[in-house]
Amino acid sequence: MPLKTHVDEQPSLNLTPMIDIVFLLIIFFMVGTKFTELERKLTLDVPQVSDATALAPAPEKRVINVYRDGRVTLDRQPITLDQLRAELAAARREYQELGVVVRGDAEGSFQNVVHVLNTCRQAGISQMGISVRLARKDR
């Protein structure tokens, strides 16, 4: 009986997906190049500056501390409620989005914090926050 020899086929690689991806990349880069050429063809000369900093620094929230005895500080400087109102109103004229963070002493009267919050509202401040500390859970 004659033996049949089985010849295995060589595995073939399907290149179609790879060719599709290469063509898509070529199209993508051609379109991207076209947009940069259009940008360069604009006959617009933009102004130049020598110092590239912001025109006005972004306002940070001002910190108001209310102590146990009713003393108030604005950014660590002692201040009265009338001075606080005037200072915040002046700062708000420069920066419309000015915000404050009120930090009241836990052992102090909450009424003192309410007076400060009311003073901030009278100065036109709408972004107010109260600073608190998370209590630790006993295990």
Please indicate, yes or no, if residue 73 is contained in any of the structural domains: yes
Please indicate, yes or no, if residue 89 is contained in any of the structural domains: yes
Residue with tokens 């110092």: 51
Tens-place pLDDT, residues 61-80: 889 999 999 899 998 899 99
Please indicate, yes or no, if residue 97 is contained in any of the structural domains: yes
Q: What's the pLDDT score for residue 43?
A: 64
CATH number at residue 122: 3.30.420.270
| Parent domain of 110 | 62-130
**Separation between Cα atoms, residue 21 and residue 62, nearest integer Å:** 55
Question: Is residue 58 pLDDT above 60, yes or no?
Answer: no
Domains of the chain: total: 1
Tokens of 111: 């009424």
Q: What's the pLDDT score for residue 55?
A: 61
Per-chain mean pLDDT for the chain: 83
Q: Could you tell me the pTM of the whole model?
A: 0.56
Residue with tokens 């052992």: 107
Residue with tokens 């201040």: 79
Q: Residue 62: beta bridge partners? A: 100
Q: Residue 101: beta bridge partners? A: 63, 129
